[in-house]
Amino acid sequence: MKETLNANAQAVLEVVRSSHNHPTALEVYEAVRKVRPRIGVASVYRILHSLAQQGLIRELGRSDEACRYDGHIERHDHAICTACGALLDLPVEVRLSEEALRSAAQAAGIELHSHEVRLYGLCTACRQRLQQAESAEG
C-alpha cells in the first residue's frame, strides 16, 4: 500500500539509481545519510525492500538465505522461487552459444571460467498457495 514515495524513499531510490556498482544496503545507508541525516538503518532496509517489491529496483543475492552447497559439480542451471526461495536444479540444459558467452565475457573484461543460467519465478507449491489466498479474498 505504498503508492507515493516520501522524501526518504525518494532519496534511497535516487542513490540506488545513480550508483553503478550494485551497492549494499549499508552503502546505500551511508550515501543517503548525506542528504537525509536523520534516517535510520532500519528505514533504509524497509525502503529498499519496498522499492524492490514495487519493481523500482532489483535485489541481487539472497540475504535471508544462507550459502548453499551443491554436490553436482558438472555445469548446470538453477530455478529460484521468488516467493519461498526454493533452489531447484534445472533438469535440462539451457543452451546458449559459446560465441555469445565469449563475447560477453570479453565485453565485461572477465576471464570466463564458467557460467550459470538462473530462472526466477514461482514454484509449484507457492503458485498453489498464492492462488488459494487470492480466491479466498474474492
Residue 105's CB is within 10 A of a number of other CB atoms, namely 14
Query: 65 or 89, CB closer to Mn ion?
Result: 89
Helix (H, G, I), strand (E, B) or coil at 99: helix
**Which letter does DSSP use for residue 65 in this model?**
S
Task: Pick the piece of the chain touching Mn ion (CB under 5 A) from 2-10, 36-44, 69-77, 108-116.
Answer: 69-77
107 binds its own copies (CB under 8 A): yes
Q: Is 3 annotated as a binding residue?
A: no
Helix (H, G, I), strand (E, B) or coil at 136: helix
Residue 138 Cβ vs its own copies, minimum distance, rounded to whole Å: 22
Handedness of CA 119, 123, 128, 133 (dihedral sign): negative
Total residue length of the chain: 138
**Residue ranges that bind DNA, judged by CB under 7 A:** 1-2, 6, 8-9, 24-26, 36, 38-43, 45-47, 49, 63-64, 66-67
Residue 14 Cβ vs its own copies, minimum distance, rounded to whole Å: 9
Residue 33 Cβ vs DNA, minimum distance, rounded to whole Å: 9
Among 5, 86, 90, 105, binds Zn ion (CB under 5 A): 86
Which distant-in-sequence residues (6+ apart) come within 8 Å of 130 by Cβ? 83, 122
Residue 58 Cβ vs DNA, minimum distance, rounded to whole Å: 14
The whole-angstrom separation of Cα 113 and Cα 101 is 11
* Residues flagged as binding site for Zn(2+): 81, 84, 123, 126
